[in-house]
Structures are given as structure tokens and as C-alpha cells.
Structure 1
Amino acid sequence: MSQIDTILTLIAQKHLGIDTLQTRHADSLDFHDTAVWCLKDALEAAFQAGVEFAASNPKAKDAEIAKD
């Protein structure tokens, strides 16, 4: 699992109560009801993680950023 995947999974677990971001091919496991305030918290955490990642890797290549 990449560093970004790990960070996103941790955010999903902490803010959304989602155990994994892996597709499990079952509606009950792949779709979740989420409160808007939880979604907002998760988006803010992801944004902050991106800011911190960029600050620690100031010379990230465009190809690395765009690969996803």
C-alpha cells in the first residue's frame, strides 16, 4: 500500500468509520451513509495531509503527482 493510500485509509477510518477503501464487491460493504460534518472533517484532514506531504517533498515531480 502506498503512503498516500495509507493516509487516506487512516482518514476514512478516523472520520468516516470506514474500515477499508478496498472494493469488496458488496453494496453493504462498499456504500456508506455519512454525515456531512464527517465528510467535511475527512476532506479537511485530506487537504492538511496534502499540505504536509507537499511541504516535506518540495521537489515532487509532476509525474508523481499526476500518476493517480
Structure 2
Amino acid sequence: MTPRKPRPANAEKPARAPEETLERIVREEMNIETLKTRNSDSLDIHEVAVWQLRDALEAAYQAGIRAANSPRSS
């Protein structure tokens, strides 16, 4: 695994995705019931196909684009 490059000290931390968006993506794309830790290997560790991972990443990317293009509410 390639180590991550350190982020510059003045770089802002990226905003976190809304939890409900992530939960929806993993339910729909990866057939995972929840992202909450349930302290059980059989519930917390999942085997997923690469195409499920690709589809989930694509859905997250598209959700980010939609969020970036939508007007922010104050």
C-alpha cells in the first residue's frame, strides 16, 4: 500500500459527507445494512465485489458533485 502524502498545514480538512447519504449509498450499492459499528465481526466486516465498490464510489462522487452545485442554505 502506498503511504499517503502529508497534507500541508494550511490545508482545510474536507467537509464530511452527510451520514444519511453514505448510509443510502452502502445500502443501495453494497447491500450493507448500516455503517454503524455493531461490535461483531459478522455484522461489521463485509465482503464486497469490486463492481459494488466501484458503484458506491461513483455514487459518492455524483453526490459530491450535486452538493457542490446546489445553492448552500444559511
Q: Same fold (TM over 0.5)?
A: yes
The TM-score, its normalising length taken from structure 1, stands at: 0.77
Distance across 1 between alignment mates of 2:22 and 2:38: 17
Among 40, 44, 50, the residue aligned to 1:26: 40
Among 38, 48, 60, the residue aligned to 1:46: 60
Alignment RMSD: 1.8
The TM-score, its normalising length taken from structure 2, stands at: 0.71
Shift of 1:4: 1.0
- Matched letter for residue 41 of structure 1: D
Distance across 2 between alignment mates of 1:32 and 1:56: 33
Is 1:8 the counterpart of 2:33? The answer is: no
Bigger helix fraction: 1
Distance across 2 between alignment mates of 1:56 and 1:23: 31
Mark the runs of 5 or more structure 1 residues left unpaired by the alignment.
59-68
Structure 2 counterpart of 1:65 = none
Mark the runs of 5 or more structure 2 residues left unpaired by the alignment.
1-16
Misfit runs of 4+, over 3 Å: none
